[in-house]
Chains A and B, each alone.
Chain A
Amino acid sequence: MSGGARTQVGQLARRSVLRTLRQPAQIAPALVFPLFLLAVNTGGLKDATNLPGFPTDSYLTFALAVPFMQGALFSVMNSGTDLARDIETGFLNRLALTPLRGAALLSGLLAGSVVLGLIQAATYLAVGLIAGADLAAGAGGALVIVALSVTITVAFGTIGLFAALRTGSGEAVQGLFPLFFVVLFLSSMALPLDLLQTEWFHDIAAANPVSYLLGAFRSLLIEGWELDELALGFGIALAILAIGMVAASSALRTRLVRT
């Protein structure tokens, strides 16, 4: 990366981080809502641990993987609505009149997602462990969980950027939230894949990449170091990131029709 590009990414990243930190109303729901659902699910579904084959006797440990995914969904909303606002207000045109590179813009915008992802992951993990969840992979596993969470947050953030660039509307981006929530529910969110008895639900959950992202978190929380599951989780996250970046870059070229 050239010096000019580094400066561009750095300055846009700085803006993105400042914007994130200066909007407590954006951070608070991303922290509170997933933890609230964690508490509700753990209380309501704890007897699921009695099912034969359930991988742990702590439903809290099993369910702790879910907030990381829900937090990533907030990243879609936050990165998308921030960019949509830039389009709506004309700020993107201001940027387009500079020698800004498209890749620098997208990378810089995702810096806010990185910060939000770090705050979210550290908070979810700390609250989960304080509440009594296990962490079979130990301190090193905690770092990998944070790294995986940030990767997923950024990957989902690219989907938010793509949606914003395609629609140019903050409302349209927010309209994605229920859709993503449905995708999350149609996964191994509440029960392990092999315990899902309803065939159609099992098939959908087995085809849903979210199940394997959850599986990577759970491997570290419940089993320890399961490299296959970790590789699958990181692989899927990086694939979403790559596809999201390509799609967002293409949408950016369409949006910025500068000559």
Chain B
Amino acid sequence: MTETSERQGIEVEGLVREFKNGPRAVDGIDLRVAPGEIYGFLGPNGAGKSTTVLMLTTLLPPTAGTARVAGFDIASEGPRVRASIGAALQEAALDPLLSGAEHMRLQTALHGLGKAERRRRGAELLERVGLADAAGRRVGGYSGGMRRRLDLALALAHRPRILFLDEPTTGLDIQSRTALWEEVARLAAEDGVTVFLTTQYLEEADALADRVGIIDHGKLVAEGTPAALKAEIGRPTVEAVPRDPADQGRTRDVLARFGEPAGAAPKGAAVRLAGGESELAEVVRALDGEGIAIERLQLHAPSLDDVFLAKTGRSLEGAGEATEAAEPVEAT
């Protein structure tokens, strides 16, 4: 690894990928990821996340634009880029007939590690991801979480400075997801690894990423720290569901006094509080004053989904646990 590659993160300018007879999968993306940073690349299915990762990992040539990964140009210095990065791409690509240890042996050998180093590094990584006891078992019998952890270990075999994780926790249960998050966070914090993470999970981007880029239809529509992006949206949302469905219209009217409508609330009404969350008490009093019995009242802090909604005009569909910091309030 050169000094340059250790200093550099990811720099992307005007990156474009067009497919035959199709729209631009990636349409002029600019972004920078600092060394040691965890960058969350958030977007719905088909937004262009994986295509971007394939280009940055040199597996797909860009149609236009430039990108440097670890200081090397992805178009003209592919081998040097690959030597500097590790990648766990969408769907853990493992051989069900090989054991975890055999995967590690193959991966470390292909990266040119010596025999003794292969054994040592393989055992160390399997231990780190909690697969030491399952190392001799064929991967076909692994759970989804175990496969993802092995995938991560394989990506780290040659000590890359930059790690690409393409939807690493899709399909995993909460426990496996949390374990993977902890490992990724540790890699960045303790080992200084730069992490480029694509995800559909708002919660994941919020919990892990130092900065988030939101992509939609191949374009980067927002970028910043999760806190800054949410602060940009600013106001929290209150949603009220009346006990009697016939009161839905009156509920909507009452809430309309406190702000503009926000999102869909099929059984009630939701507004973005113009005066912030301090208005919640007044909302409760106003509903009570109108004699509307409320079954459920929830205050939503601004979420990355709100950011996505604000930037694209629609909600981030299929993004898992989209609501965050939901604070149920006692029904009136």
Q: State A4–B112 Cα separation when bound (angstroms).
A: 7
24 A-B pairs with C-beta separation under 8 A: A7-B109, A7-B112, A11-B105, A12-B106, A18-B98, A90-B90, A90-B91, A91-B94, A91-B95, A93-B59, A93-B93, A94-B154, A95-B110, A96-B59, A97-B82, A97-B86, A99-B82, A99-B111, A257-B59, A258-B58, A258-B78, A258-B82, A259-B74, A259-B78
Question: Interface residues of B, CB < 8 Å — how many?
Answer: 35
Interfacial chain A residues near B30, Cβ < 8 Å: none
Smallest Cβ distance from A4 to chain B, in angstroms? 6
A98 lies within 8 A of B110 (CB): yes
Contact in complex: B60, A11 (CB < 8 Å): no
Nearest residue (CB) in A for B110 is A98
A23 interfacial by beta-carbon distance below 8 Å: yes
The answer to the question of B97 belonging to the interface, with a C-beta cut-off of 8 Å to chain A, is yes
Q: Give min CB distance, A161 to chain B, whole Å.
A: 17
Within the complex, the shortest CB–CB distance from B142 to chain A, in Å, comes to: 14
**By the criterion CB–CB under 8 Å, are A99 and B112 in contact?**
yes
Closest B residue to A259 by beta carbon equals B78
B222 at the interface (CB under 8 A from A): no
* Contact present for B74 and A97 (CB under 8 Å): no
Assess whether B83 is interfacial by the CB under 8 Å rule: yes
The distance in angstroms between the C-alpha atoms of A14 and B97, with both chains bound, is 12
CB distance from B184 to the nearest CB of A (A): 18
The yes or no answer to B89 lying at the interface (CB within 8 A) is yes
Residues of the A chain whose Cβ atoms lie less than 8 Å from the Cβ of B76:
259
CA distance A99 to B138 in the complex (A): 25
Not counting A94-B93, A99-B79, A100-B110, a sample of 17 additional A-B residue pairs whose C-beta atoms are within 8 angstroms of each other reads: A7-B109, A11-B110, A15-B95, A18-B98, A19-B98, A22-B97, A86-B95, A91-B95, A93-B59, A95-B110, A97-B57, A97-B82, A97-B85, A97-B87, A98-B110, A99-B112, A259-B61
Category for how many chain A residues contact B? 20 to 34
Q: B208 near A: Cβ within 8 Å?
A: no
The listed residue (B90, B97, B98, B107) touching A98 by CB distance below 8 A is B107
In angstroms, Cα B107 to Cα A259, docked, is: 20
Q: How far is the CA of A10 from the CA of B91 in the complex (A)?
A: 27
Contacts of A93 in B (CB 8 A): 59, 89, 93
Residues of A within 8 A of B262 (CB): none
Compute how far the CA of A4 lies from the CA of B57 in the bound complex, rounded to whole angstroms: 22
Listed in ascending order, the chain A residues whose CB lies under 8 Å from chain B are 4, 7-8, 10-12, 14-15, 18-19, 22-23, 86, 89-91, 93-100, 257-259
Would you give the shortest CB distance from B25 to chain A, in whole angstroms?
Answer: 15
Residue of B nearest to A101 (CB): B110
CA distance A91 to B106 in the complex (A): 12
Contact A99/B83 with A11-B105, A89-B91 known, Cβ cut-off 8 Å: yes
Given the contacts A15-B106, A18-B98, A259-B76, A89 and B93 also touching, CB distance less than 8 Å: yes
B11 proximal to A (CB < 8 A) = no
Residues of B within 8 A of A4 (CB): 112
A259–B69 Cα distance when bound, in Å, is: 13
Query: Smallest CB–CB gap between B297 and chain A, Å?
Result: 46
User: Which residues on B sit within 8 Å (CB–CB) of A18?
Assistant: 97-98, 102
A98 to chain B, nearest CB (A): 4
Q: How many angstroms between the C-alpha atoms of A96 and B109 in the bound complex?
A: 14
Interface 1/0 per residue, B31-69 and A, CB below 8 Å: 000000000000000000000000001111100000000
In the bound complex, CA of A99 to CA of B111 (Å): 6
